[in-house]
């Protein structure tokens, strides 16, 4: 295979420490340790895919065995050792894939092979990729050799799952955690490769490649390769075409979706999601992308500080920034928790697409409920604060007039007791006031005031948890009207002249009145089924069935 026919990820694979992308500090550390002859028995490289674990392993192998020495390490004209290591053909450098050789017998063969010294190089080196795939017995067999190997033997391990490696193995290695490559650094590198390959791709597409690759150099080069192969004509590859090539959909759709959710526009929410689904997005991937956008809404200020983040473009950034100004953090946190819960439950339904649509509809209700609840809470807090300020001012007034007579003090007391009523009367202009002391009284008052919709919701879709001190705590089902809290709060204030807090609880609450009626009816039917009369009827008419009972109120 010629160099020009190779895929970009192989063609531009670093061959020495100077060529490394985003791992310069690690390269410098290893270079100095070899130069000063402080070489560990084993190296362990860990990190996500495509950040250079196997590449650095080969560079270390070349640095230890280069015929010219570490300070004159081959760069262009490779010596025999470096050339053989680069092509994985060196007799003393054995590369093993632990994913295909996981057993203890494979490790025993390795240890047996290690008893013999190197044939042509200075060190015999074992490079084991995805080392976490080895079995527990294989790791145990390796421990002794790993701790006290012969002077000529070195181990180099690479893994993406370092937590799966026994701590006894990790403690015997010099560990290096390879970070993701930073966005700007990867952008400049991909742009340079694009220019070398004379690719007709604009900067917006390169930013998209960096965003999708998530800090992986190999992923970025593979995406660049795909773009250049698929779009090799004279016309420049634009961002819309690139999104179709990479199977990536524009996140501005989700931003638009969240806007419709917050506005309560159910029709637009469903239409927007279906257009996203038609582009081929998987429901689980959609929910993960939804979480990502929620994160940007919550942390838009910190994104401004980073500067090198290509996760969202300028238009998306400005739109999120504008919407988030009027968005309560509590709403976002509730959305976040509800999305995580949906991700856990999505596999329970065979058609995941339907689950996501219902999830979005429920978010509309959740948004309305959260906003109404906190508006009521804030209003109550505002009233209390106003009263507290007036009371404090009145207290100061009393302290300054300690020598006044008792009549004046009594007048001051009357003023204090009237402050709350004055604030409420001036603000809300309410006169008629009644007392509602229980849930049952609330339902009766709904009947008196002919608020039949509220009565229906309270009896059918609400499970009472507690009712006390101008506070109602309830649980509810999915059929609850989305304007229920707002309507009930408004009517309670109109009837009682007081602000009520309506809170939602995770507790189940007592059964609704409709549920109680249904239970009572079923119990009556069950009792009647056992009566002698019904038994005689069923003897005469075997196919008969007891459907309902009307009780005689006179007996």
pLDDT in tens, the chain (555 residues): 456 657 898 889 998 888 899 899 999 999 999 999 899 999 999 999 999 999 999 999 999 999 888 888 888 788 889 989 988 889 999 998 888 888 888 888 888 888 888 888 899 999 999 999 999 999 998 998 898 889 999 999 999 999 999 999 999 999 999 999 988 899 999 999 999 988 888 888 898 898 888 889 999 999 998 888 876 666 788 887 888 788 777 778 888 899 899 888 889 999 999 988 887 788 888 898 899 889 888 887 776 544 445 666 667 778 888 888 888 888 888 889 989 999 988 888 888 888 899 999 888 888 766 555 444 444 444 444 443 444 444 444 444 444 444 444 444 444 444 444 444 444 444 445 678 888 888 888 888 888 888 888 888 888 888 888 788 888 877 778 878 888 888 888 888 888 888 888 777 778 777 777 666 666 666 776 777 777 777 777 777 776 766 655 444
Q: Looking at the structure, tell me whether residues 20 and 82 fall in a common domain.
A: yes
Q: How many CB atoms lie within 10 A of CB 170?
A: 16
- Report the DSSP beta bridge partners of residue 174: 43
Residues 6+ apart with CB under 8 A from 341: none
Q: Looking at the structure, tell me whether residues 145 and 194 fall in a common domain.
A: no
Helix H or strand E encompassing 349: none
In-domain check, residue 367: no
Q: Looking at the structure, tell me whether residues 26 and 151 fall in a common domain.
A: yes
Note the pTM of the prediction, 2 decimals: 0.60
Q: Looking at the structure, tell me whether residues 62 and 198 fall in a common domain.
A: no
DSSP, collapsed to helix, strand or coil, labels residue 502 as strand
Q: How many CA within 13 A on the CB side of residue 443?
A: 15
Q: Give the residue from 468, 459, 415 showing the smallest Cα distance to 438.
A: 468
**Which domain does 87 fall in, by range?**
8-177
Q: Looking at the structure, tell me whether residues 50 and 64 fall in a common domain.
A: yes
The answer to whether the CB of 475 falls within 8 A of the CB of 508 is: yes
Choosing from 200, 216, 246, the residue where a domain stops is 246
Our count of domains for the chain comes to 2
Q: Residue ranges of the alpha helices (H) in 115-265?
A: 136-147, 167-170, 183-196, 203-213, 217-230, 239-246, 252-263
The answer to whether the CB of 195 falls within 8 A of the CB of 222 is: no
Distances (CA, A) of 283 to 26, 280, 287, 334, 339: 39, 9, 6, 20, 12
DSSP assignments along 112-139, one per residue: HHHTSPPSSSS-EEEEEETGGGS-HHHH
Q: Give the residue from 169, 177, 160, 163 showing the smallest Cα distance to 41.
A: 169
Angle at 260 between CA 258 and CA 266, to 5 degrees: 120
- The phi, psi pair for 307, rounded to 5°, reads 80, -40
In-domain check, residue 115: yes
In-domain check, residue 474: no
Q: Looking at the structure, tell me whether residues 189 and 169 fall in a common domain.
A: no
Residue 265 backbone class (left: φ over 0; alpha: ψ -120 to 50; beta: rest): beta
Q: What is the CATH number of the domain that holds 235?
A: 1.10.8.60
Q: Looking at the structure, tell me whether residues 33 and 139 fall in a common domain.
A: yes
Choosing from 149, 177, 205, the residue where a domain stops is 177
Query: What token pair was written down for 520?
Result: 């009572």
In-domain check, residue 196: yes
């Amino acid at each position: 295979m010629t160099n020009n026919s190779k895929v970009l990820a192989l063609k531009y694979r670093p061959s020495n420490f100077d060529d490394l992308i985003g791992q310069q500090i690690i390269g410098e550390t290893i270079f100095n340790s070899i130069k000063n002859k402080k070489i560990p028995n084993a190296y362990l490289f860990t990190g996500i895919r495509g950040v250079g674990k196997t590449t650095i392993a080969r560079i270390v192998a070349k640095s230890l065995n280069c015929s010219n020495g570490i300070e004159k390490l081959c760069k262009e004209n490779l010596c025999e050792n470096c050339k053989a290591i680069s092509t994985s053909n060196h007799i003393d450098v054995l590369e093993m894939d632990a994913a295909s050789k996981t057993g203890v017998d494979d490790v025993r063969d390795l240890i047996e092979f290690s008893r013999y010294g190197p044939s042509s190089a200075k060190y015999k080196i074992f490079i084991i990729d995805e080392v976490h795939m080895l079995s527990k017995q294989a790791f145990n067999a390796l421990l002794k050799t790993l701790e006290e190997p012969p002077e000529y033997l070195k181990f180099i391990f690479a893994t993406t799952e370092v937590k799966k490696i026994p701590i006894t193995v990790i403690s015997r290695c010099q560990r290096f955690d390879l970070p993701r490559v930073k966005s700007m650094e990867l952008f400049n590198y991909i742009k340079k490769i694009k220019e070398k390959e004379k690719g007709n791709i604009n900067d917006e597409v390169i930013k998209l490649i960096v965003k999708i690759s998530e800090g992986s150099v190999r992923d970025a080069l593979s995406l660049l390769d795909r773009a250049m192969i698929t779009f090799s004509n004279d016309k420049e590859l634009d961002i819309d075409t690139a999104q179709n090539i990479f199977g990536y959909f524009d996140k501005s759709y989700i931003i638009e979706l969240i806007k419709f959710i917050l506005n309560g526009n159910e029709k637009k929410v469903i239409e927007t999601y279906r257009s996203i689904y038609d582009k081929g997005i998987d429901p689980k991937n959609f929910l993960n992308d939804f979480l990502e956008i929620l994160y940007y809404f919550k942390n838009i200020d910190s994104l401004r500080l980073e500067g090198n983040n290509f996760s969202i473009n300028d238009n998306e950034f400005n739109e999120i920034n504008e919407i988030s100004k009027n968005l309560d953090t509590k709403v976002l946190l509730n959305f976040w928790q509800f999305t995580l819960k949906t991700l856990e439950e999505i596999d329970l339904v065979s058609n995941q697409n339907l689950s996501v649509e219902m999830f979005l509809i429920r978010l509309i209700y959740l948004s309305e409920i959260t906003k109404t609840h906190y508006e009521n809470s804030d209003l109550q807090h505002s009233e209390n604060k106003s009263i507290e300020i007036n009371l404090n001012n009145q207290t100061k007034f009393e302290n300054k007039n300690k020598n006044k007579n008792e009549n004046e003090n009594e007048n001051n007391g009357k003023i204090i007791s009237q402050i709350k009523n004055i604030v409420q009367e001036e603000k809300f202009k309410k006169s008629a006031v009644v007392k509602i002391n229980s849930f049952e009284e609330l339902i009766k008052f709904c009947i008196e005031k002919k608020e039949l919709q509220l009565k229906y919701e309270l009896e059918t879709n609400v499970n009472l948890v507690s009712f006390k001190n101008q506070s109602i705590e309830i649980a509810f089902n999915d059929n609850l009207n989305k304007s229920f809290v707002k309507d009930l709060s408004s009517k309670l204030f109109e009837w009682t002249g007081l602000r009520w807090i309506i809170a939602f609880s995770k507790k189940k609450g007592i059964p609704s009145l409709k549920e109680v009626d249904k239970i009572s009816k079923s119990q009556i039917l069950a009792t009647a089924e056992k009566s002698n009369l019904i038994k005689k009827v069923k003897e005469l008419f075997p196919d008969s069935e007891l459907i309902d009972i009307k009780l005689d109120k006179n007996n």
